Amino acid sequence: MLKGIPKILSPELLKVLCEMGHSDRIVIADGNFPAESMGKNAKVIRCDGHGVPEILDAILQVFPLDTYIEHPVNLMALVPGDDVETPIWDTYRELVEKHDERGEAAISHIERFAFYEEAKTAYAIIATSEKALYANVMLQKGVVKDE
């Protein structure tokens, strides 16, 4: 155990977060996301029993978001005509605002199939048990700066 590290971050996940470099991306996937097929060239980490918000909050405590791009946080956009409510996006906005001074401005949406293509190039994919629809989040890592 370590002090100051959220307990939900397993040793395997901490190792991956530490290995990642500037501009590497990680996907926190909902339970419906095809993590194994999208992650054939990535590290796939299982976080069964957990939802995306609790994983996102824990990661943002230790993971700097990229400041060299406008939107280091990307969500999967609704498919046109898909009548789905996405209240989980409000939770994501609150979490990003809590951990990054840009707040909601750091978040963007990517068309569904473009999101899948981007996910195939991610460094890692975290598979959760999140049941909310359109709950996938992609984060781009920034740099740790001296304080």
Taken in order of first residue, the domains within the chain and their CATH numbers are 22-140 (3.40.1650.10)
Q: Is 71 a catalytic residue?
A: no
Q: Is 116 a catalytic residue?
A: yes
Q: Is 82 a catalytic residue?
A: no
b (16+ CB within 10 A) / e for 67-106: eeeebbbbbbbbeeeeeeebebbebbbebbeebbeeeeeb
pLDDT category of residue 146 using cuts at 50, 70 and 90: confident
Tens of pLDDT, residues 97-122: 999 999 999 999 999 999 999 999 99
Question: For residues 45 and 107, what is the distance between their CA atoms, to the nearest angstrom?
Answer: 23
Q: Which of 57, 66, 92, 100 is catalytic?
A: 66
